[in-house]
Amino acid sequence: MSNPSNLKYTASHEWVHVEADGTLTIGITEHAQELLGDMVFVEAPSVGRKLNAKEECAVVESVKAAADVYAPVAGEVVAANADLDASPEAINTDPYGAWIFKLKPNNAADVAGLLDAAAYQAVVDSEAH
């Protein structure tokens, strides 16, 4: 499994891509989708919703289980990926391309506190034991 080095991560298995305009694109990691299995439904947060850091804000459902998705930092939802309504399995085929929502962070500096690829891999490895 490979965790792209250009992304930030959370211990709860979200990936975060910082866009050129400062917004954050968020999805779940390859590790998370492997644990969950075949996706059947994704519920993204509503555009305009204000989130606190680590707040439950979305749900991904697979044939095995449902899992909450958490906001990596505080901010306002500026987009939700409507393509996942019809094709939730895109998360399985391209976990780092199938984003769930976009967030405008309240404080851009909060992103620096997220995990880099190596630190996230250490979290994954620690769970495996």
Tokens of 107: 């404080």
| Per-residue pLDDT tens digits for 14-60 | 999 999 999 999 999 999 999 999 999 999 999 999 999 999 999 99
* Of 52, 29, 48, nearest in space to 127 by CA: 29
- Mean pLDDT over 103-121 rounds to 97
| SS3 of residue 3 by DSSP | coil
| Residue reference for tokens 């976990």 | 95
| Residue reference for tokens 């792209």 | 4
Residue 128: predicted pLDDT: 77
Which residues are within 8 A (CB) of 92 and not within 5 positions of it... i.e. 6 or more apart?
33, 37, 38, 39
- Mean pLDDT over 85-110 rounds to 97
Give the C-alpha separation, 31 to 37, whole Å: 10
